[in-house]
């Protein structure tokens, strides 16, 4: 099945499969999620990939879904990329599968090729959790494979909800997610579509600058309630970056219902709303 873009109301560029379909999740995963839930005062669910599909189908939306492979840095065993791909293939009317390969893996480039051959539509990087600067040459062979396939690389930027409220932030370092480190990647891989995930607090203006300057760089607006968007982000969303901004919720931490309800209250131009909610993502993803 393929996504019928005309039949859906929106494309959510940022959702998580947090637990596996079968078996128990890694206790480290649950500890991090429990701390995030307490920090944000939100008892969000812990969905598997099939539950993400069911949730978005019921709302006539499509969703990019992924896990995060940070085993080298955190020891956490991720949800399997193969599980993401297999369940997404069976739910191709609503799910767009991204995968995650830790750049520290000795076979990272080969694994990326395998996953692309299996149907990966993009790659998720979380520099905080994975413990690397995006412009570290360690990751460049992996980027070469992704760029060669012409699929997007999505980078977490800015503050990390994961680790928030834990002593020492759970060992998660914020420094890795300044979007200016992704600027080097955009220069060195000019054919690689790049998404800067989240309003990039405390580096919002850096993110806007990178997206303004680099033709292939987009911003997804996930992980922050729209009512908290800084005025400069709304200004650029309405103006020069209107074709490069993407709806994303960060489900299940933030629901698309809440995001869309608050976004509707922002002073966004009528002609910009459909670009953000669906059209920009459809173009980026080749839907």
Q: What is the pLDDT of residue 25?
A: 72
pLDDT beneath 70, residues of the chain = 1, 26, 28-42
pTM over 0.85: yes
Q: What is the pLDDT of residue 18?
A: 85
Q: What is the pLDDT of residue 184?
A: 98
Say if CB 282 and CB 11 are below 8 A apart: yes
| Residue 199 main-chain phi, psi, to 5 deg | -55, 125
CATH of the domain at 37: 3.20.20.140
Tokens of 275: 């670009």
Tally of domains in the chain? 1
Q: What is the pLDDT of residue 161?
A: 77
Q: What is the pLDDT of residue 243?
A: 98
- What are the b/e assignments for 184-217, b being 16+ CB within 10 Å? ebbeebeebbbbbbbbbeebbebbbbbbeebebb
49/201 Cα distance (integer angstroms): 28
Residue 160 structural domain: 5-285
Residue count of the chain: 287
Q: What is the pLDDT of residue 36?
A: 65
Q: What is the pLDDT of residues 4-39, one digit of tens each?
A: 999 999 999 999 998 988 877 767 666 666 666 666
Distance of CA 6 to the CA centre of its chain: 23
Q: What is the pLDDT of residue 269?
A: 97
Q: What is the pLDDT of residue 170?
A: 82
Q: What is the pLDDT of residue 30?
A: 67
Q: What is the pLDDT of residue 163?
A: 75
């Amino acid at each position: 099945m393929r996504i019928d873009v005309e039949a859906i109301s929106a494309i959510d560029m940022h959702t998580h499969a947090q637990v596996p379909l079968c078996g128990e999740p890694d206790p480290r995963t649950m500890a991090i999620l429990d701390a995030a839930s307490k920090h944000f005062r939100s008892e969000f669910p812990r969905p598997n990939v099939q539950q993400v599909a069911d949730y978005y189908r019921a709302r006539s939306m499509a969703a990019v879904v992924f896990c995060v492979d940070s085993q080298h840095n955190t020891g956490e065993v991720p949800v399997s990329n193969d599980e993401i791909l297999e369940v997404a293939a069976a739910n191709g009317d609503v799910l767009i599968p991204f995968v995650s390969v830790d750049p520290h893996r000795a076979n990272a480039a080969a694994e990326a090729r395998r996953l692309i051959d299996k149907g990966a539509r993009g790659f998720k990087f979380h520099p905080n959790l994975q413990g690397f600067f995006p412009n570290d040459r360690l990751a460049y062979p992996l980027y070469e494979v992704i760029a060669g396939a012409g699929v997007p690389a999505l980078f977490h930027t800015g503050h990390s909800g994961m680790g928030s409220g834990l002593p020492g932030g759970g060992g998660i370092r914020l420094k890795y997610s300044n979007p200016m480190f992704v600027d080097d990647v955009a220069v060195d891989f000019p054919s690689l579509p790049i998404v800067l995930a989240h309003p990039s607090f405390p580096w919002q203006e850096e993110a806007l600058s990178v997206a303004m300057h680099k033709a292939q760089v987009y911003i997804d607006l996930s992980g922050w309630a729209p009512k908290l968007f800084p005025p400069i982000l709304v200004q650029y969303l309405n103006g020069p970056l209107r074709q490069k901004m993407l709806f994303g919720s960060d489900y299940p931490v933030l629901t698309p219902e809440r995001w869309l309800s608050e976004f509707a209250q922002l002073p966004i131009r009528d002609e910009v709303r459909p670009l953000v909610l669906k059209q920009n993502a459809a173009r980026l993803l080749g839907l």
